């Protein structure tokens, strides 16, 4: 048995079982031997499951002994009236077991809030629609979390090291000190984990400031840090506050994520490797965030907010990680590998095979509104536009329809509180785009009713900060001049749920084709593949939309950048003809390009610091 001491009560055995990881004298031990956690973050929900093993081997080749992953609640339970799913891509147990088979320990971060630049910080939209006090002791929040934990935590518990599995640590909540100070909620979270069988090391993770540590730490639970620079200052701060605890950096940001309309963030190799060396010096433990970022497939990318301005995250989650989005080993990989003391040649190839470059014509099949309304959806009538939450919709679009009478002459159409983007049509003709907030558009009336349609798109739910859980849709009234428009039909368009049959309805092969290169709506490209391999898709000439590959929603593209190409992993393709469907709300180009290299945009060097 290992004696452990710390400021406060220290870790205690649960159900008579001592955790595999423990500490004394600012040193971490694993089953009695001095140990460092050398971990890399990789999220099973951002990597195709047929590539899990390849990416885990790349983590091990980096010189790591551990992988850590969040668990995204909304990925497992997008609908309140259905039990959480744990099969296929959502089989988190299979991911954990595979990591163990590859010789890696596993750290699990079950939240329920995870941030992670993931939609809604991992919280289901059906929960945040209820306007409960998120991440607090409010029973309206904790009771649904309890039911979720009833499904999830026993699955993790059975895979703990004490039961012969690879799980050696579990996080209590996530960077709570950056959000609130309800310590009763943090203690509840910890108790909920223990009550459902967690006996391994429990820890919190917060930024290395007094404010964040005051809000996010609790007695008897290891306090870890999250940082991008200045590890020496963090080590000193934690040593003062927790004099017996080892220095553990639960997230070391060796790169950063990107927002649409901004630069692609990178971090210099020497800077990233140098800070890593300073963290692991003198017995320090670390998790590189991200070691392999992967992809925000579908519409799972989250968003931030800067003074009320939405900052949607791009589809790629490459994050300038040492293992690139497609698994390639980067210069940062080799520099970090040297710091971590790995020797020999990596077992995995530097890069997986890619398809040859090609240009494939896009055949325009259906106009925007024609295609979107070809898939049946339950509409709701009411005096005001319905929000995404009122329609039970997480992501996608809502089509709002009304018939206001507009007098002769020029008038204003005023849209209030647009979340997040709206394309406005009058009698089927687009008259403008409202991109967040309040907007005015002009319209020429004739004295007759106008068929007014507003297509509202959710660009990503906020994943961090006090606006977490913010609702989507057209939240304020629509006015003609100063008169409110009443009598709306609101139709949800659940694009992430569309099947291959739905896509065939939307593209409408029997409909007349319109001119390519000038219209909006749906287009199709038939891509011939011999041996499936990775590729990178680009849409020159197209402006703003989404791409499906063989019925799978790959993600969103936007000409505002910085991301230009979408990563398409080999498992999404098959030998023969592959169908790529493009939906563009603004402007459809005429060609789909297959490229051999990613293009993530003009770079801007970035290091996150706490002052």
Among residues 275, 322, 324, which one has the least CA distance to residue 63? Answer: 322
Helix, strand, or coil (residue 354): strand
Q: Residue 551 to residues 222, 324, 498, 587: CA-CA distances in angstroms?
A: 45, 25, 8, 22
Q: Which residues pair with 398 in a beta bridge?
A: 456, 492
Among residues 154, 156, 153, which one has the least CA distance to residue 94? Answer: 156
In contact, 404 and 440? CB cutoff 8 Å: no
- For the four alpha carbons of 495, 500, 505 and 509, in that order, the dihedral sign comes to positive
DSSP alpha helices (H): ranges in 20-134?
52-61, 73-76, 92-101, 125-128
Residue found by looking up tokens 């551990």 in the block = 66
Q: How far apart are CA 257 and CA 318, in angstroms?
A: 7
φ/ψ region of 495 (left if φ > 0, alpha if ψ in -120 to 50, else beta) reads: alpha
For residue 290, is the peptide bond before it cis, meaning its omega torsion is within 30 degrees of 0?
Answer: yes
| φ, ψ of residue 171 in degrees (nearest 5) | -85, 140
Catalytic residue among 173, 175, 325, 389: 175
Q: How far apart are CA 564 and CA 547, in angstroms?
A: 13
Known active-site residue 200: no
Among residues 582, 583, 599, 595, which one has the least CA distance to residue 537? Answer: 595
Q: Which residues pair with 382 in a beta bridge?
A: 488
Q: How far apart are CA 608 and CA 207, in angstroms?
A: 11
Which H or E run contains 269? helix 269-280
Among residues 475, 421, 216, which one has the least CA distance to residue 303? Answer: 421
Among residues 579, 537, 141, which one has the least CA distance to residue 363? Answer: 579
In contact, 392 and 401? CB cutoff 8 Å: no
Q: Which residues pair with 449 in a beta bridge?
A: 405
Helix, strand, or coil (residue 225): strand
Q: How far apart are CA 369 and CA 374, in angstroms?
A: 8
Known active-site residue 175: yes
Q: No. of H helices and E strands in the chain?
A: 12, 33
Catalytic residue among 117, 173, 200, 251: 251
Q: Are strands 248-253 and 285-289 parallel, antiparallel or unpaired?
A: parallel
Q: How far apart are CA 307 and CA 55, in angstroms?
A: 37
Paired tokens of 2 = 């290992």
51-53-59 Cα angle (round to 5): 105
Neighbours of 440 (CB within 10 A): 11
Q: How far apart are CA 316 and CA 225, in angstroms?
A: 26
Which H or E run contains 536? strand 535-538
Among residues 277, 272, 314, 263, which one has the least CA distance to residue 293? Answer: 314
Q: How far apart are CA 412 and CA 449, in angstroms?
A: 15
Q: How far apart are CA 74 and CA 82, in angstroms?
A: 12
Active site positions, annotated = 175, 251
């Amino acid at each position: 048995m290992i004696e452990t001491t710390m400021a406060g009560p220290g870790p205690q055995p649960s159900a008579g079982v001592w955790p595999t990881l423990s500490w004394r004298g600012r040193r971490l031990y694993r089953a009695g031997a001095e140990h460092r956690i050398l971990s890399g973050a990789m999220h099973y929900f951002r990597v195709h499951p047929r590539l899990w093993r390849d990416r885990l081997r790349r983590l091990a080749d980096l010189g790591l002994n551990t992988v850590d992953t969040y668990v995204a609640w909304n990925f497992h339970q997008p609908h309140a009236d259905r039990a959480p799913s744990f099969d296929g891509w959502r089989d988190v147990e299979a991911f954990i077991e595979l990591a163990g088979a590859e010789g890696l320990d596993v750290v699990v971060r079950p939240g329920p809030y995870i941030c992670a630049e993931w939609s809604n910080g991992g919280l289901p939209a059906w929960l945040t629609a209820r306007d409960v006090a998120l991440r607090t002791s409010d029973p309206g929040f904790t009771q649904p979390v309890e039911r979720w934990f009833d499904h999830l935590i026993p699955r993790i518990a059975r895979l703990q090291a004490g039961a012969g599995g690879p799980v050696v640590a579990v996080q209590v909540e996530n960077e709570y000190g950056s959000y609130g100070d309800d310590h009763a909620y943090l203690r509840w979270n910890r108790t909920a984990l223990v009550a459902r069988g967690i006996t391994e090391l429990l820890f919190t993770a917060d930024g290395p400031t007094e404010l964040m540590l005051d809000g996010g730490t609790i007695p008897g639970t290891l306090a870890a840090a999250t940082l991008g620079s200045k590890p020496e200052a963090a080590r000193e701060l934690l040593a003062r506050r927790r004099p017996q605890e080892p220095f553990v950096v639960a997230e070391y940001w060796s790169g950063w994520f990107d927002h649409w309309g901004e630069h692609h963030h990178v971090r210099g190799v020497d800077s990233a490797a140098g800070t890593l060396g300073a963290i692991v010096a003198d017995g320090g433990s670390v998790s590189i965030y991200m070691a392999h970022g992967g992809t925000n497939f579908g519409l799972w990318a989250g968003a931030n907010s800067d003074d009320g301005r939405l900052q949607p995250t791009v589809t790629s989650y490459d994050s300038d990680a040492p293992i690139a989005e497609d698994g390639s080993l980067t210069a940062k990989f080799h520099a970090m590998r040297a710091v971590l003391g790995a020797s020999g040649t990596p077992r995995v190839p530097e890069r997986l095979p890619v398809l040859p470059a090609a240009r494939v014509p896009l055949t325009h099949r259906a106009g925007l509104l024609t295609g979107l309304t070809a898939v049946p959806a339950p509409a709701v009538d009411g005096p005001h536009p319905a929000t995404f939450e009122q329609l039970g919709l997480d992501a996608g679009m809502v089509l709002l329809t009304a018939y206001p009478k507009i007098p002769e002459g020029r008038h204003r159409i005023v849209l209030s509180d647009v979340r997040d983007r709206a394309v406005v049509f009058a009698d089927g003709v687009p008259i403008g785009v409202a991109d967040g907030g309040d907007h005015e558009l002009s319209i020429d009336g004739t004295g007759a009713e106008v068929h007014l349609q507003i297509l509202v798109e959710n660009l990503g739910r906020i994943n961090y900060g006090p606006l977490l859980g913010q609702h989507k849709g057209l939240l304020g009234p629509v006015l003609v001049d100063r008169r409110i428009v009443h009598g709306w039909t609101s139709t949800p368009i659940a694009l992430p749920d569309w099947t291959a049959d739905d896509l065939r309805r939307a593209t409408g092969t029997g409909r007349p084709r319109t001119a390519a290169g000038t219209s909006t709506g749906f287009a199709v490209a038939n891509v011939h593949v011999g041996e499936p391999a990775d590729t990178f898709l680009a849409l020159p000439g197209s402006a703003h939309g989404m791409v499906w590959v063989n019925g799978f929603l790959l993600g969103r593209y936007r000409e505002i950048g910085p991301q230009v190409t979408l990563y398409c992993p080999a498992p999404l393709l098959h030998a023969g003809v592959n169908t790529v469907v493009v939906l563009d709300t603004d402007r459809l180009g005429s060609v789909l390009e297959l490229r051999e290299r990613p293009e993530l945009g003009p770079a801007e060097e970035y290091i996150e610091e706490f002052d």
